């Protein structure tokens, strides 16, 4: 991932105006010398002015440059004509010889709208909120606030609540499938067999803890607690779970071994993390203090800063994403208990990394990262809505197909859901403990639901040690149609 540093806009304008400025100096220098001589003499001196035509030519050239700059500022705003917040490499490719001038104009327009974030005296970041970002924020706000969570089936809630834990672990290298990971969480959460399974279980507990702690103010102990949960019994780089790093032997490289990010010195970590907590806890609502930062933007900034500071030897990504969810839930975005972003981040891993590098290369402008995250959040919400609508439609279709049987035998919604899963996967085994977790009911109630279905010959009981499994028969559809 080779990314070139952008040119400094002040250097660009110096290159533009310096030749004309030098011409002007050349023409007025003799006059200045004469004035200097006059100040040292009592005799009258005839001042010879620069040739009028030459001065007019220089003035015209200067006026032309000023007009060109004005047109550049008007044409090239903080975002391009398609609403994109482009980095230097895209502008360089798009505008060729004019690229540096276009970049300078774009950069100045961004500086005019930027919002600074001074974390400590040594670390100052900034970000912009262009119109297209406002539109993304409006979409997420509208979708999140208007969506009725009660429309989500209890089983779907359980599945969706596992999704972020699983994909976050996969993003960090856990070699497991979603199906196996879901079975691990529901059937044997206390018995992970290897580091990959430990990562999945840790992440599941981490997301549960985020929900539990959403009303708490942020402090160092809470961050360490989240990190400890994320990395319990599975941490690399000789790091210690629940402790900040004590060395600078950590850097982030791409697949070609190019250095992407060198975190701040470990001596700065404690001060930075205290400032991080102060920023998270500050009320940027525009009322209690004049500055307003949209809660979603602030959640994304917290995600970014954790990755930038890199306070831990391992587990920074998992902790950063957990804090993003913590802040979203804290600010009333309840839908995000069921919306997963890690799957999309994993699919766009290169762009995810670039959004960090762009920020670091361009004067710590976090706007690149904010735009990237907002785009993935919007996509995650769209995917979530499609999943829920698809599952609800499938549930309605299945219920309609077996309506006579349901009415005849008085099956409830949970038993219909069990049968739907059984039809979808012949030979699937059901256990009371797993269903109790899915439906948030007691094991006795889950066992009763399964036994009633077995009594109707819709599931086959099978003894396994001290437990009883209930197996979906291959001819279940035919049995339901009798």
In the prediction, which pLDDT does 398 show? 85
Rounded distance, CA 178 to CA 170, Å?
A: 9
In the prediction, which pLDDT does 63 show? 60
Which residue from 192, 233, 425 is spatially nearest to 315, judged by alpha carbons?
Answer: 233
Q: What ranges in 49-177 are assigned the alpha helix state H?
A: 52-75, 88-95, 99-113, 131-146, 154-171
- In the residue annotation, 409 being an active-site residue is answered as no
The half-sphere exposure of 58 on its side-chain side, counting CA atoms within 13 A, is: 17
Total Cβ atoms within 10 A of residue 462: 12
pLDDT tens track for 144-188: 877 777 778 787 888 888 888 888 888 888 888 888 888 888 878
- Contacts made by residues 51-59, CB under 8 angstroms, sequence distance 24+: 51/27, 54/27, 55/27, 58/20, 58/23, 58/24, 58/27
**Residue numbers in the chain where pLDDT is lower than 50:** 17-18, 20-25, 27-28, 31-32, 35, 49, 55
3-state SS class at 124: strand
pTM of the model: 0.83
Domains of the chain: 9-113 (no CATH), 130-387 (1.10.3290.10), 402-480 (1.10.10.10)
Positions at the binding site = 314-321
| Residues ≥6 apart with Cβ < 8 Å to 446 | 432, 433, 435, 436, 439
In the prediction, which pLDDT does 205 show? 93
| Residues ≥6 apart with Cβ < 8 Å to 255 | 1
In the prediction, which pLDDT does 51 show? 57
Positions at the binding site for ATP = 314-321
Which residue from 396, 435, 401, 389 is spatially nearest to 415, judged by alpha carbons?
Answer: 435
pLDDT tens track for 347-401: 888 898 889 999 999 999 999 999 999 999 999 999 999 988 898 888 888 888 8
Total Cβ atoms within 10 A of residue 375: 15
In the prediction, which pLDDT does 35 show? 47
Q: What ranges in 213-254 are assigned the alpha helix state H?
A: 220-231
In the prediction, which pLDDT does 11 show? 62
Token representation of residue 296:
């979603």
In the prediction, which pLDDT does 30 show? 54
pLDDT tens track for 109-128: 898 899 999 999 999 999 99
In the prediction, which pLDDT does 48 show? 53
The half-sphere exposure of 46 on its side-chain side, counting CA atoms within 13 A, is: 1
Which residue from 388, 384, 413, 410 is spatially nearest to 398, judged by alpha carbons?
Answer: 413
Catalytic residue, chosen from 227, 284, 303, 310, is 310
In the prediction, which pLDDT does 25 show? 46
């Amino acid at each position: 991932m080779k990314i070139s540093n952008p040119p400094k806009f002040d250097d660009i304008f110096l290159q533009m105006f310096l030749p004309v400025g030098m011409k002007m100096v050349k023409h007025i220098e003799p006059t200045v010398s004469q004035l200097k001589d006059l100040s040292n003499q009592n005799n009258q001196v005839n001042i010879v002015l620069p040739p009028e035509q030459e001065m007019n030519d220089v003035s015209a050239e200067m006026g032309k440059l000023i007009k060109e700059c004005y047109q550049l500022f008007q044409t090239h705003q903080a975002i391009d004509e398609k609403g994109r917040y482009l980095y230097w490499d895209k502008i360089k490719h798009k505008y060729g010889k004019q690229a540096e001038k276009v970049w300078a104009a774009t950069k100045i327009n961004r500086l005019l709208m930027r919002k600074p974030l001074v974390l400590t005296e040594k670390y100052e970041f900034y970000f912009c909120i262009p119109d297209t970002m406002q539109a993304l924020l409006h979409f997420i706000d509208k979708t999140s606030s208007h969506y009725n969570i009660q429309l989500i089936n209890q089983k779907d809630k359980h599945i969706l609540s596992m999704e972020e834990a699983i994909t976050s672990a996969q993003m960090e290298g856990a070699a497991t499938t979603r199906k196996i990971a879901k079975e691990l969480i529901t059937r044997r959460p206390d018995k992970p067999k290897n580091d990959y399974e430990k990562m999945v279980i840790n992440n599941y507990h981490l997301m549960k803890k985020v929900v539990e702690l959403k009303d708490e103010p942020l402090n160092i102990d809470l961050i360490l607690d989240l990190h400890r949960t994320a990395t319990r019994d599975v941490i690399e780089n000789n790091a210690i779970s629940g402790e900040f790093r004590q060395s600078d032997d950590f850097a982030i490289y791409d697949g070609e071994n190019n250095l992407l990010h060198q975190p701040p010195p470990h001596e700065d970590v404690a001060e930075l993390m205290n400032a991080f907590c102060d920023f998270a806890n500050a009320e940027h609502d525009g009322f209690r203090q004049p500055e307003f930062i949209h809660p979603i933007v602030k959640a994304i900034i917290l995600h970014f800063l954790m990755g930038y500071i890199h306070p831990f030897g391992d587990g920074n990504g998992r902790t950063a994403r957990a804090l993003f969810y913590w802040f979203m839930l804290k600010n009333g975005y309840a839908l995000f208990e069921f919306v997963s972003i890690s799957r999309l981040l994993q699919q766009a891993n290169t762009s995810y990394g670039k959004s960090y590098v762009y920020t670091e290369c361009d004067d710590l402008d976090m706007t690149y990262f904010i735009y990237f995250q907002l785009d993935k959040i919007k996509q995650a919400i769209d995917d979530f809505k499609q999943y829920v609508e698809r599952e609800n439609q499938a549930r309605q279709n299945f219920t309609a197909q077996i309506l006579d049987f349901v009415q005849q035998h008085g099956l409830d919604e949970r038993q219909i859901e069990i049968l739907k899963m059984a039809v979808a996967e012949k030979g699937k085994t059901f256990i009371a403990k797993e269903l109790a977790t899915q439906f948030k009911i007691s094991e006795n109630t889950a066992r009763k639901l399964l036994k009633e279905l077995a009594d109707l010959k819709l599931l086959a009981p099978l003894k396994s040690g001290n437990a009883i499994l209930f197996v979906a028969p291959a001819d279940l559809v035919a049995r339901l149609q009798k």
